[in-house]
Amino acid sequence: MDGKPLIVALESNHSNLELIRQFLEKEGFQVLGLTSMDELDTILEEGEAFDLALLDLTGYNRSIWDRCERLRKGGTPFLIISPRQSADIQKESLTHGAKAILVKPLAVSELVGLIRSLLGE
Amino acid sequence: METDASFRLSTGISGLDEILDGGFIPRRAYLVRGGPGIGKTTMGLHFLTSSASQGEQVLLITLGEPEAQIRQDAQSMGFDLKDVNFLDLSPSSEFFTAVETYDIFSPAEVEREPITKMIVDQVEIVKPQRVFFDAVTQFRYLTADVFQFRKQVLSFLRFLIEQGATVLLSSESSTFLPDDDLQFICDGVINLVLEAGRQTISITKFRGSGFRRGPHTMKLGSRGIDVYPKLIPEKYVSAFTSEIVSSGVPEIDEMLHGGLERGTSTLISGPSGVGKTTLGLQFMKEAASRGERSVVYSFEEEMLATMVYRCESINIPVRSMIEHGSLSLVSIEPLRFSPDEFSSMVRREVEDRKASMIMIDSISGYTMSMSGEDLTSHLHALEKYLVSRKVTLLLVDEVKNITGEFRISESGISFLVDNIIFLRYLEINGELHKAIGVLKKRVSDFGKRLREFEITGDGLKVGNPMTGLRSLLSGRPELGDLTKKEGG
């Protein structure tokens, strides 16, 4: 680690992932982009350390909640990105330990602010 | 740096320059708005190409149509875009073929910055005097909300204007996406409207200048846009002269106390076939002998064939008058022109070719042939314009009744003309006669008596005043017969 906080982003859409990387790197974060849950599993299994996770629900099934539970147990803060405003998603996310739910489209400044506050900067 | 409002930039469309009192005021922003296919981009091309030849730098920023397509269409309309700088910000086909497009951030977040940077870079390189931005409403998708949009556009315009540019923005407006905010921001607003098959242009705002209220007729053709400004009577100051225009027929001149005053309007009224057009041409024949030029606008006859033949046979040498340029016969196809276009045509004759006498044959034909509403006021404006230019106007008006109850006019415009000459059929002892009379003359007195009138192989023949008859105007005079009958 070279001092920059590491953020893991799970995102099924490559264009989105690229944008997240661009914006966050510009703000001084390191981004590890993942597109499948298997990749996330590998990282969780290997116990690699990171500071925060961004999980975009789009393109994944309900089993994503299991990963949320694992993140919570590991004490890593994570944010859920939801394709739409939904009471169900909100409830599930909070139940499984999400720090916040963001609905697309996101405002960059909001996202960055939230990450900074979660990281205690 | 011209801040003087009297210095104007041509819009590239002469009719529009006229409406705008000379053109755009430099270093201001103008909005051209309208629905799809109405000519917004074409107007931008006119604006850019009108000065590219003068060594000005011009820039076209397109957010919608790709450069290649604009160039192709421009070429087919005859625009030379050689010296036009392009900034093509339209989406490329990759945008669609890319399997995934982003949805995590709004376009405002993702694309505004790079687009803004490209615009700023290009403007700083080109340093344009004229910028056309097509279409600024697309900017709306790049801003988060209405407030942001307004602020963005304002600061964008300020940036361009500080660089020395005059800006034309196009706006794709509709009831679903109103653009009132843009109209408030810009210094001038040009509206293009298609209504009932007629295209019109009107200015609703022009800071720092007067302008002519519309709607004016506009044509988007294969060679670009033409604008035909509406004639507004107040614009022309009437200049009265007492110069008399003779008819060339002594008896008619006598009835008119010398003739018609130059620069007045005269209604020639009468039933079908009585000789109204012939009487008008008689005035023109006399005008030609003085070396003046006249124009006849015919709305109902297959003129060049029949009228030329008919006039030749009654000693009005129409053919040689046309050959010598002292007469022009113009046949107006029904529904092809709007009143504004017709007025522009008449103005060209008067201003460029110095016509001194105009005949409209006839008012009802004019009314039927013109598309659009409120024709009487258009005709009134035309009449006032011609009078101010000292052009003598003859209006032919056909009345329906052959004989019977007397009527001056079917079109209700007799109040706006200076003179009225009427032609009548009379039935006397079972024989049909024609009579001519004067009903109104604003400037001078006139002979109140009717005279018999005939069209012969030698031309118009007019007899002495008819006396000894009563109820001439009924068409069936009583008592006695014509005491003096001349001209066989």
Of A4-13, B23-32, B84-93, the poorest mean pLDDT is in: B84-93
Closest partner residue to B102 (CB to CB) among A19, A83, A107 is A19
Summarize the confidence of residues B94-104 as an average pLDDT.
Answer: 68
Query: In chain B, where are the structural domains located?
Result: 14-229, 244-474
Residue B407 has pLDDT above 90, yes or no: no
Which DSSP state fits B197? T
pLDDT value of residue B412: 66
Token code pair at residue B293: 């030029």
pLDDT value of residue A32: 94
Token code pair at residue B225: 């846009």
Pick the residue with more confidence: B471 or B403? B471
Strand partners, B465: B451
Summarize the confidence of residues A101-120 as an average pLDDT.
Answer: 89
pLDDT value of residue B474: 66
Closest partner residue to B103 (CB to CB) among A14, A105, A108 is A105
Please answer yes or no on whether A56 and B98 come within 8 Å at the CB atom.
no
pLDDT value of residue B485: 46
Q: What is the pLDDT of residues B251-306, one digit of tens each?
A: 999 999 889 988 889 999 988 888 888 899 999 999 999 999 999 998 875 656 77
Summarize the confidence of residues A28-56 as an average pLDDT.
Answer: 91
CB B131 within 8 A of CB B63: no
Q: What is the dihedral of CA B469, B471, B472, B478, to 10 degrees?
A: -50
CB B112 within 8 A of CB B140: no
Q: Which residues of B touch A106 (CB under 8 A)?
A: 104-106, 109
Strand partners, B170: B32
Summarize the confidence of residues B17-40 as an average pLDDT.
Answer: 91
Q: Which residues of A touch B102 (CB under 8 A)?
A: 13, 15-16, 18-19
Confidence of residue B45 (pLDDT cuts 50, 70, 90): very high
Confidence of residue B391 (pLDDT cuts 50, 70, 90): very high
CB B157 within 8 A of CB B183: no
Q: What is the CATH number assigned to the segment(s) A6-118?
A: 3.40.50.2300
Helical packing angle, B375-388 and B339-353, nearest 10°? 10
Please answer yes or no on whether A83 and B103 come within 8 Å at the CB atom.
yes
Please report which residue ranges of B195-270 form alpha helices under DSSP H: 250-255
For B345-407, the DSSP string reads: HHHHHHHHH-EEEEEEE-HHHHHHH--SS-HHHHHHHHHHHHHHTT-EEEEEEE-S-SSSS--
Q: What is the dihedral of CA B122, B128, B130, B134, to 10 degrees?
A: 0
Helical packing angle, B40-52 and B67-77, nearest 10°? 80
pLDDT value of residue B25: 93
pLDDT value of residue B239: 58
Report the 10 Å Cβ neighbour count for B361: 26
Please answer yes or no on whether A105 and B98 come within 8 Å at the CB atom.
no
SS3 B75: helix
Tell me the C-alpha to C-alpha distance, in Å, between residue B308 and each of A100, B318, B319, B328, B440: 91, 6, 6, 11, 30
Please answer yes or no on whether A107 and B102 come within 8 Å at the CB atom.
no
Residue B2 has pLDDT above 50, yes or no: no
On average, the pLDDT of chain B sits at 83
Q: What is the pLDDT of residues B409-438, one digit of tens each?
A: 666 677 788 899 989 888 777 788 888 989
Q: What is the pLDDT of residues A49-64, one digit of tens each?
A: 899 999 999 888 889 9
In A, minimum Cα distance to B101 occurs at A15
pLDDT value of residue B237: 59
Residues of B near A (Cβ–Cβ under 8 Å) read: 98, 100-106, 109-110, 144
CB A81 within 8 A of CB A102: yes
Q: What are residue B407's phi and psi, to 5 degrees? A: -135, 140
Tell me the C-alpha to C-alpha distance, in Å, between residue B393 and each of B156, B251, B363, B383, B387: 53, 21, 12, 7, 8
pLDDT value of residue B301: 58
CB B459 within 8 A of CB B314: yes
**The model's pTM:** 0.70
Tell me the C-alpha to C-alpha distance, in Å, between residue B426 and each of B314, B415, B479: 22, 26, 13
Q: What is the pLDDT of residues B355-376, one digit of tens each?
A: 999 999 888 888 877 766 677 7
pLDDT value of residue B488: 36
Confidence of residue B94 (pLDDT cuts 50, 70, 90): low
User: Which is nearest to A67 in space by CA: A88, A98, A91, A90?
Assistant: A98
Summarize the confidence of residues B370-391 as an average pLDDT.
Answer: 80
pLDDT value of residue A86: 87
In B, minimum Cα distance to A57 occurs at B104
Summarize the confidence of residues B375-403 as an average pLDDT.
Answer: 83
Tell how strand B392-398 and strand A6-10 pair up.
unpaired
CA torsion sign for B343, B285, B411, B415 is: positive
pLDDT value of residue B235: 56
CA distance linking residue B226 with residue B408, whole number of Å: 38
Confidence of residue B5 (pLDDT cuts 50, 70, 90): low
pLDDT value of residue B471: 66
Please answer yes or no on whether B105 and A13 come within 8 Å at the CB atom.
no
Q: Which residues of A touch B104 (CB under 8 A)?
A: 11, 13, 16, 19-20, 56, 81, 104-106
For residue B427, which amino acid is it?
E
pLDDT-above-70 percentage for chain B: 86
In A, minimum Cα distance to B144 occurs at A107
pLDDT-above-90 percentage for chain B: 27
Q: What CATH number matches the domain at B244-474, 3.40.50.880, 3.40.50.300, 2.40.50.140, 2.40.37.10?
A: 3.40.50.300
CB B299 within 8 A of CB B362: yes
Nearest CA of chain A to the CA of B149: how many Å?
16
CA distance linking residue B56 with residue B42, whole number of Å: 19
CATH class given for the domain over B14-229: alpha beta
In A, minimum Cα distance to B95 occurs at A15
Summarize the confidence of residues A11-34 as an average pLDDT.
Answer: 91
Residue B484 has pLDDT above 50, yes or no: no
The interface predicted TM-score (ipTM) is: 0.76
CA distance linking residue B287 with residue B357, whole number of Å: 8
Q: Which residues of A touch B142 (CB under 8 A)?
A: none
Nearest CA of chain A to the CA of B170: how many Å?
28
Q: Give yes or no on whether B14-229 and B244-474 have one common fold.
A: yes
Strands (E), chain A: 6-10, 30-34, 52-56, 78-82, 100-103
Residue A119 has pLDDT above 60, yes or no: yes
Residues of A near B (Cβ–Cβ under 8 Å) read: 11, 13-16, 18-20, 23, 56, 58, 81, 83, 104-108
pLDDT value of residue B28: 93
Token code pair at residue B44: 């931008």
Q: What is the pLDDT of residues B149-176, one digit of tens each?
A: 888 888 888 999 988 899 999 998 777 7
CA distance linking residue B56 with residue B105, whole number of Å: 40
Residue B486 has pLDDT above 50, yes or no: no
